[in-house]
Amino acid sequence: MKIIGKQPSREKCAESGWFAWDYLLDEPVEREFILKLRPLGGFTYLDILKQPFFKIDSDYYMIKGIQGNDYFRIAVHGKHEDQLEELERTITDCMEK
């Protein structure tokens, strides 16, 4: 799986100081990838749902998505946008393993 694009999210959250991007993938998000994200923060994975949902919370960012979709979303608090680049590298590493 690879990231093939990045676009500002349709979810508007800038008024609360958060900025979000949708990361477009070349294939659907799979369970194995979701589980690799677990060390990145507070982890929620509702795999009993018809469309399994995941969310990773940290103090300054949030990652969320739905298993089977070809994208996921990252939101970062505006004062900590510098963490986005490092987070992108970490997620890319998870995709390659």
- The pLDDT of residue 82 is 79
- The pLDDT of residue 97 is 66
φ/ψ region of 52 (left if φ > 0, alpha if ψ in -120 to 50, else beta) reads: beta
- The pLDDT of residue 16 is 67
- The pLDDT of residue 37 is 93
Q: In the β-sheet with 18-25, what is the strand arrangement from edge to edge?
A: 3-8, 18-25, 71-77, 61-66, 53-57, 42-46
- Amino acid, single-letter form, for residue 91: I
- The pLDDT of residue 85 is 85
Per-residue pLDDT of the chain (97 residues; tens, 9 = 90+): 899 999 988 766 655 667 889 999 999 999 999 999 999 999 999 999 999 999 999 988 999 999 999 999 999 887 777 788 888 889 988 888 6
Among residues 2, 33, 16, the alpha carbon closest in space to that of 75 is found at 16
Q: What pTM value is reported for the model?
A: 0.87
- The pLDDT of residue 32 is 94
Q: Where are the domains of the chain?
A: 3-71
